[in-house]
Amino acid sequence: MLDRSSKIYVAGHKGMVGAAIWRALERKGYTNLIGKSSKDLDLRDQPAVRAFYKEYHPEVVIDAAARVGGILANNNYPYQFLMENMLIQNNLIDGALHHDCRKFIFLGSSCIYPKLASQPLKEEYLLTGPLEPTNEWYALAKISGVKACEAIRKQYGKDFVSLMPTNLYGPYDNFDLETSHVLPAMMRKFHEARENGHAPVTLWGSGTPKREFLHVDDMADAVVFAMENRFEDNLYNVGTGQDLTIRELAELIQKVTGHQGDIIWDSGKPDGTPRKLMDVSKMTEAGWKAKTGLEEGVRDTYRWFVGNISQIKEVKF
C-alpha cells in the first residue's frame, strides 16, 4: 500500500491533465510529488530519462505527458504526433520497469479504438478495425503504449495500468484555434465573437457527430483512484458514459458564453469519427464514477478562461 509520503512522479505536470492530477494528489495529502518541466527534462531523450530515474527512484509514475492537439494539428503534423509520443512514453515505461517502480499509470485516449467500432466503445474493441484517419498517428502511438504496459504486466507481473479517457476539457486547456480540441476551440470562438458584437461563428463539419466529454478534475480523480487500488485488468475506459451532438455542444457553449449571433456550419470540413461514446462499466465495477455534469463543467472552464485570458496557453509546433 502507498502512504502519503510515497514518491510520485507526475510526467507532464504542467499540462492540463498533469496539473489536475497534481492538484488532486495534493488534496488527498500526498506530500512527496515530483514534477519536471520540459526544460528541465526532455522526455524524448532516453539518456536524460534514465538519469532521472536513477537519481529520483519514484515509487509511482503517472504518464500525463504527450504531444496533443485537434484534427487540424494531427493532420498537419503526423510525424510529430507519432514519433514524439512514442519517444516520450517508451522512455518513461522502460525506465519505470528497469528501476522497479511499484506502479505505472499510462494515459491514452478514446481515439485508440476503430473508427466504426460498435457503440459504446468497449476495451475489447482495441485493434479490431481501421482507425480514424484524422488522428491515426496519435492513436497508433498510444496503442503502442497500451500494449507495452500490457506486455510488462504479462511478462513481469508489474502493476502497470492504462486509462483511456474520453474527450477532456477544463482549466489550463489549450485554447489555440489551430491546435486545440473541439470544446476549447468553440469556447474561444464564441467568446471572441461575442466581444466582436455577436459576430457569426463558423464551425467545422455538419454538427451531427456525437462526442462525450469529461472534466479534467474527474479524470484526475480517476487517476488517483487507480493509483490507490489494484486493478484486475490492464486497460480501462474513463468517461461519463453520456454523449451529445457537436451541434448540441455548440449551443451549450453559446449559452454559457452569452453569444447571441448565428452559428454557421462548414460542411466542407471533416466531421471525424461519427460517434465516440465510452463503455465505462469496467471503471464503474471497480468503484469509480464521474461526478461533474457537462454544463457545470463548461461553466467552470469558461470562468477560468475569462479569468486567465491574458495568459491563455497556446501550443505551437
CATH label of the domain that carries residue 203: 3.40.50.720
Q: What is the pLDDT of residue 271?
A: 86
- Is 109 marked as a binding-site residue? yes
Give the helix/strand (H/E) hosting 237.
Answer: strand 235-238
- Is 207 marked as a binding-site residue? no
Q: Are 226 and 236 spatial neighbours (Cβ–Cβ below 8 Å)?
A: yes
- Is 15 marked as a binding-site residue? yes
Q: What is the pLDDT of residue 50?
A: 98
**Domain for residue 257, yes or no?**
yes
Distance CA 4, CA 31 (A): 6
Region class of 219: left (phi > 0), else alpha (psi between -120 and 50), else beta? alpha
**Domain for residue 85, yes or no?**
yes
Q: What is the pLDDT of residue 314?
A: 61
Distance CA 17, CA 172 (A): 8
**Domain for residue 2, yes or no?**
no
- Is 283 marked as a binding-site residue? no
Q: Are 305 and 180 spatial neighbours (Cβ–Cβ below 8 Å)?
A: no
Distance CA 20, CA 15 (A): 8
- Is 98 marked as a binding-site residue? no
Domain total in the chain: 1
* SS3 category, 167: strand
Q: What is the pLDDT of residue 317?
A: 41
CA 166 to chain centre: 7
Q: What is the pLDDT of residue 315?
A: 52
Show the domain range for 122.
8-311
Instruction: Report how far apart the first and last C-alpha atoms of the chain are (Å, whole number).
Output: 41
Distance CA 246, CA 248 (A): 5
- As given in the structure block, the three cell numbers for residue 115 are 473508427
For 1, 7, 115, 158, 269, the CA distances from 102, given in Å and listed in that order, are 10, 10, 35, 7, 46
Rg (CA), the chain: 19
- Is 54 marked as a binding-site residue? no
- Is 16 marked as a binding-site residue? yes
Region class of 105: left (phi > 0), else alpha (psi between -120 and 50), else beta? beta
**Domain for residue 256, yes or no?**
yes
Q: Looking at the annotation, which residues are catalytic?
A: 138
- Is 107 marked as a binding-site residue? yes
**Domain for residue 297, yes or no?**
yes
Residue with cell 494539428: 73
Give me the sheet containing 60-63, strands edge to edge: 33-34, 8-11, 60-63, 103-107, 159-165, 235-238
Give the helix/strand (H/E) hosting 75.
Answer: helix 71-76
Helix axes 182-195, 294-307, angle to 10 degrees: 60
Q: What residue ranges of the chain have pLDDT lower than 50?
A: 316-317
**Domain for residue 3, yes or no?**
no
- Is 216 marked as a binding-site residue? no
Distance CA 134, CA 71 (A): 6
**Domain for residue 317, yes or no?**
no
- Is 18 marked as a binding-site residue? yes
- Is 287 marked as a binding-site residue? no
**Domain for residue 1, yes or no?**
no
